[in-house]
Amino acid sequence: MNKKSALGKGLGALIPEKSQENKDSINTISINLIKPNNEQPRKNFDEEKIGYLAQSIKEHGIIQPLVLKKEGNLYTIVAGERRWRAAKLVGIKKIPAVVMDLDDRSVLEISLIENIQRQDLNCIEEAQAYKNLIQEFKITQDILSIRIGKSRAAIANCMRLLALDKRVQQYLIDGVITEGHGRALLALKENELQYKLSQTIIDENLSVRETERIIKNIYKEKKNNNNIKDNEISPYYKDIKSKLESLFDTKINLQNNKNKGKIEIEYYSEDDLQRILDILKL
């Protein structure tokens, strides 16, 4: 199988048309012999939607066969885990399926593309699926956008959510904050600050606009605190700052807040850093 050309045409290109159209290729497999794929990109399933699907299957049966890979005496799901879960709910004993001889890479490819083409992935699952495709098939976001029919900007914005604190990502997975909240929180570079504000969003039911306003105020306050003019510093700290700048022959930022503060020593090259370390005897 040519990976790049298959990936370029979506899920349909990964499953030969003859296999889908030829009834002889569709097998009826005992549901007890089928197991989920541990590498399934989707980690969370909406139980309510599975319930609706189960009722549909009960009334109309499984219209689209699952795609399976035989492993020993069992079959691993390549595509169609939602249908399998729904069928189990309503007690169906046997399921129509296409059994394909696939390597692990092809299984991953089909699973990823099937999930991306669905509309009910949460934003973190979608972002992780993009990341997996890019890494596994060594392609760029531009190429991926062409191959799955989504804009590069949409892919990039989605993948940026993976930079959020893991606890915030879990809130997105659980649906207690929205993707819009997640994008707003990306403006905060400190993970702990992202997490604390996400808790505030939940506790106070903040909108995305309100969240953005809070973040803007946070940065405004930080900027004001970091831009304290020399004439606002007490003579004692002015003297310390002057002595440190003379000692290290570089700019020193001295911040004092009650009984604590910090000293920042600027350097402008690796040689400059080494010079400062020598002064400190490090």
Residues annotated as part of the active site: 81
Quickly tell me which residue has 């310390």 as its tokens. Answer: 240
* Strand partners for 27: 97
Cα–Cα distance, 184 to 209 (Å, whole number) = 9
3-state secondary structure at position 95: strand
Containing 261, the helix (H) or strand (E) segment is strand 260-265
Instruction: Tell me which residue of 3, 26, 29, 2 sits closest to 112, measured CA to CA.
Output: 3
Cα–Cα distance, 5 to 150 (Å, whole number) = 17
Cα–Cα distance, 177 to 199 (Å, whole number) = 9
Locate 171 and state its tokens: 């809130």
- Other C-beta atoms closer than 10 Å to the C-beta of 224 total 9
57, HSE (Cβ side, Cα atoms, 13 Å) = 25
- The answer to whether the CB of 88 falls within 8 A of the CB of 35 is no
- Cα maximum dimension of the chain: 90
Locate 212 and state its tokens: 């953005």
- The answer to whether the CB of 67 falls within 8 A of the CB of 97 is yes
